[in-house]
Each structure stands twice: as structure tokens, then as C-alpha cells.
Structure 1
């Protein structure tokens, strides 16, 4: 039987922790900045391990602005976006994105990823992860092509812009944009939880069914035998919100790559073979194979996942690059006919995020060449301005830098000067809010989108924890 900590128990524990003085926050006392966190009683989820981690990292962070930002951002997902419940007498976790009250598979998985290292020693976090892994499995079994879901699996979409979409909208689906990375992020979180805890509890028959559905969906979207079951159109003035050719997207030559009709930004692909998403899929399929074998003894699923990973990997090597030899870089999108698009988008998976996500080794030469090109004028969505430089994307327009791109670069880099530049821009562009945003103006940080964007906040906190381990002198 799973023991689910009550909110009263967790709040009592946090109150005792706060009054104990057991972990002094020496550095925080030097700052006059006021916390931006909700009062303890208003926080949606409480983890004593996370509170201890905030105190530990704060002590080692001498920069008062970074220390303040970390204390606000790192727990933001727990403080504001988690809704705990039970289903079939087991934990159920619903994690919204922030200012949009729905669960995105990608965002929810990424929002809690930075707490994985603490899960082994915190039963409350284990309950959260078990509930979210179970919720993800339920969502995938409802519709593996959907990117976002409602809390009530029997309800229609609560999103006004999705109500009239020309696609198969099932109860519980909030938006149905097919994005390969949605399923990859789900696997990454489940694999990370298994590696961090060795807990088999989430990997039940329902999860096994969802895992088989992931592999089957990836195979269907290779589209070897026809256009497949997915199509999508939306009546909109924005070309990036719908698909051409009766909702099936641009034509491709079927080379073994997986079609992703939308990017992780929720913008439509120009060419349906999104290379960072396919690289992510290869890694996710290998992780899924480990999970299938080690948690369920499902050799058939593990073998199937590895076979598909090998096939997609070979297709990437044959069709996913621009240039040859030592000059080659990864393309952003291709169509299999030889047409390629080079750019990068701040959302992950991006070309810049491949090492951070575990898709390639950090010292991989092809990745490093690609990253350099992404952070240059060769990328049409690389912007420079008075506030700094960084990568954006078409989602919110030109001249808008996404903090996420700077966070990803800092987490991917081993160069002190590069990381220091990223930290400087991040701490000087939050417009006094104490949080990260979706994007800010390259010349005017007071012009920003999404004041409550939990993924960016959590990723910032994850970065600071990472730098505490790798580069503590940059925070001192």
C-alpha cells in the first residue's frame, strides 16, 4: 500500500524545519530582497528535501541576485503548479504549466526533473513522481498524439483556441499537436526516477501499456505505409498553428525518421523530420528498453524499442546532417529529399540542448560544432541586443530571447567565461520579478512574456544546483 503524506503533515514538517535552525541560511541573511514564494500555508506541495536543498545551495551562493532568484525559482513548480490526488487508491499528480491550467506532457516532466536527485530520501517526492508517472501513462493511453491534457479525463478541452480544431479530440485532451518530444520527455522522467530510486512501484501494467503505445506511435509516424492516423488543422491567422496539405504537413521521403508535426514550442514544423526530436527519440527508446527489461521483465518490448532506436539512429546518420566530415553539423529539420533547414529554437529538445538531455555525449564533436553555429548569425533566431544575446524562436516573434536558451547553454558548457555570461544575462533580465520568463526583449527586458512559466523557473533552479556541483566558484 502506498502511503500518501497529507498536506497537514507536510506543512507541519515544514514549519518545524523552518523553526529548527538546523540548516542556517547564512548567505540569505545578507540580502534585503523579499521572497517571492507563496506563504507556507498556500504552497501546493511541500518537500522537506527541497527546502533543505534550497538552504544548502543558498549558503554556497555568494551572489545575492542569483541566490534570491534560485530561492524563488527552484521550488516554483511545487509551490504553485502541483495538484495531488488519488485515482484507484493510488497517487495521482497533475502538474500545470503555470499560467495555463493544463498538463503538458513535456513541461510537466521537465518541471520536476530537477528534484529527481532528492527523491530517494523524501517520501513526499516519491509520491509526487509516482503520481505523475501514472498520470502520464493514463494520458498516453487516452491519446498518444496529444501534447496537453485536462485534469478531468472525461471533460472537453478547457483551451478556447483548441475547441474547434479539425482533428480527433477525445475527452481529457486539451490540445492535440503531435510532437515527438512529448513522449520522449515522459520516458526521460520515468527513467530518471528509476535510476534515482530503484522504485518499481510506478511501472505497473498500465505503464507497460503506455510504453508499448509509445513505440507503436513512433513506428506509425515513420509513415512507411501511408500518411498514418494523425492529421491536424486549425482556423487561425498564424501559419505556425496549423498544418498544410489537408492537415498532414509537408511531403517527405520515407527514410525511417519519425515525423513530428509540431516542435516543442508547439509551432508547426517546416519539414516534418525534426532532427533534435528524432535524436531525443533514439535516446528515449534506449531508456525505455532498460525500463521494460529491469522493471517489468518485458524482453519483447525492450527488443522492439532497441530495434526502432537503431533504425532511427541509422536514418539520422544518413539524412540528418548538413555538410560532410569535420565540417558537418546537425540540421534542425529535413524532408528526406535533401532539403534542410538550419536554425535553433529555445525550447528543448533543441540542437543546443542535445547534451543536456542526454542525447549525445558532452564532448561529442558534431554536437559542439552544431552548438557553435546555433549561437551565431547562422541561426535566424539568434538575437543580440542591449540586454544580451540568446536564442528565441518564431513562437513569440523576432528579437525575443528565451531565458531557457541561456540556461541550457550554461548547463551544456564547461567554459567558465561562457557560463558567466549566461548568468549575467539571466540575473539582469528578469525585470525585477524574481522569476524567469518565457522570453524578454533583446533591447528591453521589461518587455517579457509569461510572468508565470514554471518550466523556465524550475530549469533555472536545476542549473544552479548543477553549477554548485560543477562550477561553485562561479556562484561564490
Structure 2
């Protein structure tokens, strides 16, 4: 093994990834070509090395770094660490940048590379917002995403250097926010934006729709960046369970109080899921609601953005065979899900973030990533590559009847979820 040098390893990693993709073929020429084009796309076009040894990863055609997006943009590389060791320094550098941003403002979802004062909307100046913050929408998944990356790194490498004192101090800050938002009625957080669609701001003077206590954590905005209809977003609360549980046995001496706080929080959240999230679905089976308010109301749907109900095995909340998940999966992949669309070109899950009848390649890939069927995985890859409109990009969403109509020319999260599925298929083929 060649000597590994810490620091900016972007060039060497890109070279190694190109060699890797050139040595692997997928089930057809079109998929192979798209995979080879996209595997390094995020590093060449979206990733910047910082002087502190971290890496800033913008989401694509928007210049900001979303904590959630950045994690899923680089997550596929974790599976290649054995073959390309330099990836470890890149991935830990991304994690370092994410944790730094969390400490800057744990209520923000997206950040500028510098303290430029740029914001998604000029109207966001009505809320307390740092010049380093692009947008201050509180989304539970934004705080879970760095922890998900850290857990994946540890599980793959066994290395514990990422779990330093700064990591645990950042986690302590995250837990404080989660505890505060279990009682959102007394939280100081609000989000108001004028002259925008109703799903881009919070109702009730920026506090969101009323909720009752459930033990779960209140969420202002979905992973789509659109406002929650009911304040407890179930997939995000499940994400909390999946990322905090593996950290319990790694908490060092000196952070015993933090461990006790996490245990209490996990018990509360799991109890809330059990008592409020399990409902009768339109298919007459018990399954999971998408959102609840603790006052008797719930939302039956799923959205393409991860964490989603479809993605629960992928975020490691449950197995693919867990009965409640299987019932929920049947529902969300059917016309009874208001965001499931079926047209002449595509069928799959969309989002209220994009136009009606537009389907997200992320959800198409996730359908494959949460299946054990290799033929299904190959089929989902085919669907995406056949509807890229010859752009060699996956896009955000595509008209179900016309692949020439799509949103966002370049959306790196979508590209890398395609690569995640491609690598999943390659790795399973190797193990056979």
C-alpha cells in the first residue's frame, strides 16, 4: 500500500475513483457510462478543500452546503475505503466541516463556504441568522446526517479518531436542541418568510401548527425543505433512533451525563413512535404515518427526500423484512400515496417540493437500495439512466410523461444516490 499523506487528497482520490469505475462494468453500456461520469462529479465540481483540513461540499447548482445533502453526496465512498484508503481523509474532512457548522448554528440546515452574508431569501434577515448561514430551517435530519456519516465510517474502518472531544461536545449540543424541541411550545425557535409559497415558511407566526407532547422531537421542515404539516416528522424521529443508538457504547468517560440524556431521549422518542406513529393505512394494514401532531391528526404519505418511510432500512432503523415497514412500503409505492405518480415514462415517488407528476430519481434509486432483489436493483438503475435526457446527470425530478422536462440541471445528491445503488449492485455481485 502506498503511503497515505493527510491533507488535500482530492486529486489522488479522483484519479483512483476513475481507475475503479473504469475497471467495473454495470449491466449495460448506458448505466456504465453514467456511473463513470457521476462517481467523481461531486469531487470535481462541488468539493473544496479548506485550510483547516475540512472539505466544503455544495449541493450542486446552489452554492450552499446542506448538512443532509453533503452526507448523502459522499456516503457512497464509504464502501470504497478498503480499495481507496485516501477517501478516509476526504470523508473525515467533510464530517469535520459538518460538525463545525452544527456548532455554529444547530438550527440551520444550509451554510455558506465563507461568512459572505448570502441567504436563500433576503427576507430571512427577519430572523436571527449568521452571515455564514444560507438558510435557518430547523430539520432534524440535518443534525442526524453527520452522525450517520460518522457511524458508517466507524463500522467500515473501526477507527475511533473521529470520536474526539469536539465530536462529543457537538453531540451534546445536538441533544440539547432535541430536548428543547421535545417541548416546542416553550422553544424560542421560529421561522417566518414573506412572499413565498405556504410550504416555505411556518404558520402560526413562525411557530408551526400546534402540537401536543409525544416524547418525539418537533420538526419544522421536512427533508424536502418544505414545512411539516404536522410537527412530528416520523422518518426523522426514526433517524434519531438509528444514529444515536450505535453511539451509546462509544461515549467516553467524562460524558456520562450525556449518555444518560441520550438514553432518556431514545426511550421518549421510541415510545412516541410506538404510541403515535403506528396507524391503519389505506391498505387496511398497520404501518407508519409520515407526520403526526400528538393531537390525533396524522398525515398518510411519503416524500422522495431521505429520510423517508421508504428509506427506513437504508437509514438503518429497521430491516427490509420488518412487517410494519413492509406494510408501509406497499402503501407508499402505490397510488394511495398522494406523491406517488405513474406515467408513460416513469413511476415513483415525488415531492411537494417539485411540480405534480414529477418523480425523483432519488426515490427510484431508494426503491432499489431497500430491495434484496438484484434484478430489481438493476432495473432501477436502468430507469434512471434511460431518463437522463442524454445529459449524463440525474436531476432533481422528472416529468412522469416527458423526460425532457425536469427540475435542476445539476443536483449532486441525486447523482450520488444513483452511484450508491450502482456500488451496492457491484458489491453484491462481488460477494456472490
Question: Shared topology, TM-score over 0.5?
Answer: yes
In structure 2, C-alpha distance between the alignment counterparts of 1:307 and 1:387, rounded to whole Å = 48
Determine which of 266, 273, 294 is the counterpart of 1:309. 266
Normalised by the length of structure 1, the TM-score is: 0.85
Conserved in 1, the CA contact under 8 Å of 2:119 and 2:133? Answer: no
Q: 1:468 to 1:346 in 2, by over 3 A?
A: same
Matching of residue 212 in structure 1 with residue 172 in structure 2: yes
Query: SS of the counterpart of 2:56?
Result: strand
Q: Which residue of 2 aligns with 1:380?
A: 338
Q: Which residue of 2 aligns with 1:427?
A: 385
Conserved in 1, the CA contact under 8 Å of 2:124 and 2:192? Answer: no
Matching of residue 109 in structure 1 with residue 71 in structure 2: yes
Q: Which residue of 1 aligns with 2:417?
A: 459
Cα drift, residue 418 of structure 1: 3.9
Q: Which residue of 2 aligns with 1:26?
A: none
Matching of residue 99 in structure 1 with residue 61 in structure 2: yes
Q: 1:473 to 1:435 in 2, by over 3 A?
A: farther
Q: Which residue of 2 aligns with 1:283?
A: 242
The answer for unaligned runs of 5 or more in structure 1 is 14-45
Q: Which residue of 2 aligns with 1:133?
A: 95
Q: Which residue of 2 aligns with 1:18?
A: none
Calculate the aligned-residue CA RMSD, in Å: 2.3
Conserved in 1, the CA contact under 8 Å of 2:208 and 2:220? Answer: yes
In structure 1, C-alpha distance between the alignment counterparts of 2:385 and 2:29, rounded to whole Å = 10
Q: Which residue of 2 aligns with 1:4?
A: 6
Cα drift, residue 121 of structure 1: 5.2
Q: Which residue of 2 aligns with 1:270?
A: 229
Conserved in 1, the CA contact under 8 Å of 2:399 and 2:405? Answer: yes
Query: SS of the counterpart of 1:383?
Result: strand
In structure 1, C-alpha distance between the alignment counterparts of 2:7 and 2:375, rounded to whole Å = 44
Cα drift, residue 450 of structure 1: 1.0
Determine which of 188, 192, 217 is the counterpart of 1:229. 188
Q: 1:202 to 1:414 in 2, by over 3 A?
A: closer
Of residues 461-470 and 414-423 in structure 1, the stretch that sits farther from structure 2 once superposed is 414-423
The answer for unaligned runs of 5 or more in structure 2 is none
Conserved in 2, the CA contact under 8 Å of 1:334 and 1:340? Answer: yes
Query: SS of the counterpart of 1:174?
Result: strand
Of residues 200-209 and 169-178 in structure 1, the stretch that sits farther from structure 2 once superposed is 200-209
Determine which of 20, 25, 35 is the counterpart of 1:70. 35
Of residues 462-471 and 106-115 in structure 1, the stretch that sits farther from structure 2 once superposed is 462-471
Matches within 5 A, 1:389-408: 389-408=347-366
Q: Which residue of 2 aligns with 1:440?
A: 398
Q: Which residue of 2 aligns with 1:41?
A: none
Q: Which residue of 1 aligns with 2:49?
A: 84
Cα drift, residue 393 of structure 1: 0.8
Rg (Cα) greater in structure: 1
Cα drift, residue 470 of structure 1: 2.8
Conserved in 1, the CA contact under 8 Å of 2:181 and 2:187? Answer: yes
Q: Which residue of 2 aligns with 1:174?
A: 134
Q: 1:344 to 1:433 in 2, by over 3 A?
A: same
Query: SS of the counterpart of 1:318?
Result: helix
Aligned length: 428
The C-alpha deviation readout for 1:119-153, integer Å capped at 9, x for no partner, is 3554532221222221111111111010001111x
Q: Which runs of 4+ in 1 moved over 4 A?
A: 471-474
In structure 2, C-alpha distance between the alignment counterparts of 1:341 and 1:122, rounded to whole Å = 43
The C-alpha deviation readout for 1:165-207, integer Å capped at 9, x for no partner, is 5322123111000000111111100111122223333333222
Query: SS of the counterpart of 1:289?
Result: helix
In structure 1, C-alpha distance between the alignment counterparts of 2:376 and 2:82, rounded to whole Å = 33
Q: Which residue of 2 aligns with 1:50?
A: 17
Cα drift, residue 346 of structure 1: 0.3
Determine which of 108, 116, 124 is the counterpart of 1:155. 116
Conserved in 2, the CA contact under 8 Å of 1:288 and 1:305? Answer: no
Cα drift, residue 291 of structure 1: 4.0
Of residues 297-306 and 189-198 in structure 1, the stretch that sits farther from structure 2 once superposed is 297-306
In structure 2, C-alpha distance between the alignment counterparts of 1:457 and 1:102, rounded to whole Å = 17
Conserved in 2, the CA contact under 8 Å of 1:69 and 1:434? Answer: yes
In structure 2, C-alpha distance between the alignment counterparts of 1:420 and 1:432, rounded to whole Å = 19
Q: 1:262 to 1:297 in 2, by over 3 A?
A: same
Matching of residue 252 in structure 1 with residue 219 in structure 2: no
Conserved in 2, the CA contact under 8 Å of 1:234 and 1:242? Answer: yes
Q: 1:202 to 1:445 in 2, by over 3 A?
A: same
In structure 2, C-alpha distance between the alignment counterparts of 1:4 and 1:469, rounded to whole Å = 27
Normalised by the length of structure 2, the TM-score is: 0.93
Cα drift, residue 469 of structure 1: 2.7
Determine which of 163, 166, 183 is the counterpart of 1:203. 163
Matching of residue 469 in structure 1 with residue 427 in structure 2: yes
Conserved in 1, the CA contact under 8 Å of 2:341 and 2:400? Answer: yes
Query: SS of the counterpart of 1:249?
Result: coil
Cα drift, residue 321 of structure 1: 1.5
In structure 1, C-alpha distance between the alignment counterparts of 2:431 and 2:156, rounded to whole Å = 27
